[in-house]
Structure 1
Amino acid sequence: MEFETVAGTRRSVHQYAEKELSKETLEEIFADVRNSPSSYNLQPWEFLVVQDTASRELLKENAYGQAHVADAPAVVVVLGNLDPAAHAIRVVDDQLQRGDLDRNARDKKLDRLRNKSEDPKTDRQLWTTQNVSLATMTLMHAAWARGIASCPMGGFDPDAVTEQFAIPDGYEPLMLVTLGYPRADADDLSGQRKFRRPVSEFVHYETFDPVTDADIVDTAATDD
């Protein structure tokens, strides 16, 4: 699909066909995900793909009983690494090898990145969430470009998921994403797209002048 079609037709799908997702297809999707941007190119994301039936059923319990967690052939637990410098050595060594940094600049940059690991946890959580969110959106678009639907979810118990999958300290579950081929009768893909604010309302040039629902309602009342 052309990207305009991918972005315009992607929906959060809850009904999935009984068709397995092959590892080969998943690997293709994640090959696209690896090209997502991140601050300093530090790539603080991890993705745990859950396909085992029993594990998905337990994951459903930890997601407050949302049925599509068990119905989808795969659920991705999106994890964030809270150590910004976890992959810093390879990042700066790549820049050194490509000639973007000399040895002295490489060492100084590595020290700066390692110092970020000492930032307050709340700062690191925000930084990680910002970066991982970019990769997660790439995941959903890459999947839909192959006809595979998805649904991102924040409604789950991260502590329970951490325990369920023995996720080590320093990593936090940020989101769940179901993946699967949509059922032909999936409600999510029928009819027109749900309400979306117009571009003219949320894009601002040079100055910021927000429009609220109250403004819209008041204008409509005046027009009447």
Structure 2
Amino acid sequence: MEFLSLANERRSVKKYDKDYKMTKEEIEKIIETAALSPSAWNLQQWHFLIVTEEDKKEQLKKDAWGQPKVSDASASIVVLGDLNAYQRADEVADDWIEKGYMPEEGKAGLVDTVHQFYQDDQIKRDEAIRGASLAAMTLMHAAKNMGYETCPMIGFDPEAIRKDFKVPDHLIPVMMITLGKGEAETRERGYRRGAKDIITYESFE
């Protein structure tokens, strides 16, 4: 699908065909596209908890305060931000060296710079949320391009999800996304602020 059409047609869909089952291959294709998202130093701060089994979706539904779309969708995805992504700096450096982006003697300096930058816990958290959010938007566009609907969600108890799904401490729930064959939204799109309302050129002074 041409991108402007895709962006215009993507909507947050709340009703899904509960009998429709996406294949594992389809879901993974969408995730692979999401993984093309940008991130600082290519650290890729995202991880995806994909819930497709009926009993697990019912548990996730409880953690999302009973919202029906969580269990009706083919998959409900918890988008997680990785607080420890900076620890992959060695992998990034090795890849850059292999591709000729950086000389081998630059590896130690790059790894040290990355580790120093992420010493601050607030930066770790901000970057985890930022990276996961970029991947989440790509995921939604990729799903729409394949004919599937999505809905991003913040209506859930992150600590309940952490407990019920044994989420490791270094992964933080950023948002949920329902994914499946949905009833495409036909209502007129809600109000959007125009460019003149959301742009300031050069400075606020």
CA contact (8 A) 1:30 1:139 kept: yes
Q: Which residue of 2 aligns with 1:11?
A: 11
User: What displacement does 1:135 show?
Assistant: 0.5
Within-5 A mapping of 1:82-97:
82-97=83-98
Aligned equivalents of 2:152, 2:78: Cα separation in 1? 10
Q: Which runs of 5+ in 2 are unaligned?
A: none
User: What displacement does 1:53 show?
Assistant: 0.6
User: What displacement does 1:5 show?
Assistant: 0.9
Q: Which residue of 1 aligns with 2:186?
A: 190
CA contact (8 A) 2:46 2:132 kept: yes
Q: Which residue of 2 aligns with 1:178?
A: 178
| 1:23-82 alpha-carbon deviations (Å, 9 max, x no partner) | 111121112111100011100110011001111111111111111111111000111110
Q: Which residue of 1 aligns with 2:82?
A: 81
SS at match of 2:150: strand
Query: Which of the residues 182, 200, 204 maps onto 1:204?
Result: 200
Q: Which runs of 5+ in 1 are unaligned?
A: 210-224
Aligned equivalents of 1:86, 1:49: Cα separation in 2? 24
SS at match of 1:175: strand
Q: TM-score, length-normalised on structure 2? A: 0.94
Q: Which residue of 2 aligns with 1:59?
A: 60
Percent of pairs identical after alignment?
A: 39
SS at match of 2:50: strand
Within-5 A mapping of 1:115-126:
115-119=116-120, 121-126=121-126
SS at match of 1:87: helix
Q: TM-score, length-normalised on structure 1? A: 0.86
User: What displacement does 1:116 show?
Assistant: 3.5
| 1:95-142 alpha-carbon deviations (Å, 9 max, x no partner) | 1112221122111101121233422x2221111111111000000000
CA contact (8 A) 2:149 2:179 kept: yes
Q: Which residue of 2 aligns with 1:217?
A: none
| RMSD, aligned CA | 1.4
CA contact (8 A) 1:76 1:178 kept: yes
Within-5 A mapping of 1:160-179:
160-179=160-179
CA contact (8 A) 1:84 1:117 kept: no
Higher Rg: 1
CA contact (8 A) 2:93 2:107 kept: yes
